[in-house]
Amino acid sequence: MGKRLMLVEDEPTLARALGRLLGRVGYDVFVAASCAEARRASGTFSVGVFDVDLPDGDGIDLAEHLRRTQLVRRAVFFSGTTVGRQRVRAARLGPFVEKSKGFPELQAAIEGVMKSRHAKVAGDDDSFIGDTSSPPPSGVRDHEKPRT
């Protein structure tokens, strides 16, 4: 059985299509059409894919809640929102993929968070992708200061 993935998408046709495609690439997909339905899910999920604008709430708040309760370990956002503030909030939790980019980019983002040992994972410490508070891995140079 593949890794468990929660897909939170309120548009039925898109949710069915994404669910089928994600299943074909090895994920055991649970589809929720609302925040309430996602909160009622049982078990744990390796990754959650969240639309931002949901009929009963905000997908970013939902992702924060599900990660805090460790129902979902990693988050990816797949949304058509054009609100910059929401995109920035989402990007703090995980990759943000515009719906217009399609399934290949979504799949790449999911695979990226699943493979990255540096990805923000619920239950881990507070480091995450893009965190500059810790030194780079051995052999990786930080930006060098210009010589004068």
**What's the pLDDT tens digit per position in 107-140?**
999 999 999 755 555 544 333 333 333 333 333 3
**What's the pLDDT tens digit per position in 69-81?**
999 999 999 998 8
Whether residue 139 lies inside any domain: the answer is no
Whether residue 123 lies inside any domain: the answer is no
* β-pair partners for 75: 48
Whether residue 122 lies inside any domain: the answer is no
Give the model's pLDDT for residue 136. Answer: 36
CB neighbour burial string for 90-116, b if at least 16 within 10 angstroms, e if fewer: beebbbbbebeeeeeebbebbeebbee
Nearest to 75 by CA among 103, 53, 47: 47
* CA dihedral over 128, 122, 22, 92, signed as positive or negative: negative
Whether residue 129 lies inside any domain: the answer is no
Q: Which of 32-41, 115-124, 137-146 has the highest mean pLDDT?
A: 32-41
Whether residue 148 lies inside any domain: the answer is no
Give the model's pLDDT for residue 117. Answer: 56
State which residues form the domain around 51.
4-115
Whether residue 131 lies inside any domain: the answer is no
Q: State how many domains the chain has.
A: 1
Q: The whole model's pTM is what? A: 0.78
If one compares 21 and 117, the residue with the highest pLDDT of the two is 21
Whether residue 84 lies inside any domain: the answer is yes
Whether residue 128 lies inside any domain: the answer is no
